[in-house]
Amino acid sequence: AQKITQTQPGMFVQEKEAVTLDCTYDTSDPSYGLFWYKQPSSGEMIFLIYQGSYDQQNATEGRYSLNFQKARKSANLVISASQLGDSAMYFCAMREPSSGNTPLVFGKGTRLSVIA
């Protein structure tokens, strides 16, 4: 079964508008970490934001915020004031504790295109 689901293969947003990229996850473990990465056309993977399952507040990093709804098992990425440089693939990922060495499980990604 898919552990990370990103239901939007592609999204368009107007420059300077906000956009929400969806991510739902599946785990029975109470302790886990959620991550978002950005992959521009160059291929590099850039870490954006992290949310721990026990964090009381939604994570924020500059223009990025994570809308964490634990009961719904969703961890949507919100990008405010979109810029042309935000056009990229965005991946949601989860890490479950086990020994703390468990690999990240990635979703299939959402391609965001910012329109001028």
Partner 1 sequence: SQTIHQWPATLVQPVGSPLSLECTVEGTSNPNLYWYRQAAGRGLQLLFYSVGIGQISSEVPQNLSASRPQDRQFILSSKKLLLSDSGFYLCAWSVKGLNYGYTFGSGTRLTVV
Residues at the contact surface with partner 1, assessed by CB under 8 A: 31-33, 35, 37, 43-45, 47, 50, 52, 91, 93, 95-97, 100-101, 103-109, 111
The neighbouring-strand residues paired with 29 are none
The neighbouring-strand residues paired with 34 are 51, 94
Q: How far is the CB of 29 from partner 1 (least distance, A)?
A: 10
Q: Which is nearer to partner 1, 10 or 17 (CB)?
A: 10
Q: Which of 44, 55, 30, 27 is nearest to 91 (CA)?
A: 44
Q: How far is the CB of 40 from partner 1 (least distance, A)?
A: 12
Q: Which is nearer to partner 1, 13 or 35 (CB)?
A: 35
Q: Which of 67, 54, 55 is nearest to 19 (CA)?
A: 67
Q: How far is the CB of 52 from partner 1 (least distance, A)?
A: 6
Q: How far is the CB of 16 from partner 1 (least distance, A)?
A: 27
Q: Which is nearer to partner 1, 19 or 94 (CB)?
A: 94
Q: Which is nearer to partner 1, 57 or 116 (CB)?
A: 57
Angle at 64 between CA 109 and CA 58, to 5 degrees: 100
The neighbouring-strand residues paired with 46 are 38
CB atoms within 10 A of CB 25: 20
